[in-house]
Amino acid sequence: MEVYSGEAVVAGNACIGRIFVRKKQKDWAKDMAFQRIERLFELAEQEFRTHPERSNRYVQLARRLSMRYRVRMPEELKRRICKHCHAYLVQGESARTRLRGSRITTTCLSCGKQMRLPY
Ligand SMILES: [Zn+2]
């Protein structure tokens, strides 16, 4: 039931955020958002084998948190989300990674699109 309590917290804060936090954002809010993003990625990783659709939900929540609190998503987390359909990417499972010249090409297996990253 971790899933539902987690979501309730996010939804609850979204409400508060709109009324109070938006104008005067505190540093602790960003810290908290960042910790929650990391936690959501952990959960996504844990759930991927049994419930891949939950993983997608978790990374979407993480993305929304990073936008709401304007927290920069760390590079290593960013490359685990498909840029096009925002699916959670696991190498060899939901994504295929190839080295092409000096670039890493990641193909998302949910939408079939590619992302290229400099090596
Ligand atoms: Zn995709």
Domain with residue 66: its CATH number is: 1.20.5.420
Calculate how far, in angstroms, residue 22's C-alpha sits from the geometric centre of ligand 1.
31
Average pLDDT (101-108) is 92
Q: Which residues have C-beta under 5 Å from ligand 1, the single-atom ion?
A: 82, 84-85, 87, 108, 110-111
Distance from residue 95's CA to the centre of ligand 1 (Å): 9
Rounded CA separation 47/68 (Å): 24
* Residue 43 confidence (pLDDT) above 80: yes
DSSP characters over 54-85: HHHHHHHHHHHHHHHTTPPPPHHHHTTB-TTT
Count of domains forming the chain: 2
Do 90 and 42 reside in the same domain of the chain?
A: no
Do 66 and 11 sit in the same domain of this protein? yes
Range of the domain at 90: 83-119
Q: Where are the alpha helices (DSSP H) in 1-119?
A: 2-16, 27-47, 52-68, 75-78
- Expressed in angstroms and rounded, the spacing between residue 86 Cα and the centre of ligand 1 is 6
Query: How many beta carbons lie within 10 A of that of residue 96, not counting itself?
Result: 14
**89 Cα: distance to centroid of ligand 1 (angstroms):** 8
Residues 64 and 18 in one domain: yes
Report the predicted TM-score, pTM, of the whole model to 2 decimal places: 0.74
Contacts of 75 (CB under 8 A, 6+ apart): none
Average the pLDDT over 5-15 and give the result.
Answer: 47
Q: What is the pLDDT of residues 47-88, one digit of tens each?
A: 999 999 999 999 999 999 999 999 999 989 999 999 999 999
Gap between the Cα atoms of 10 and 115, Å rounded: 29
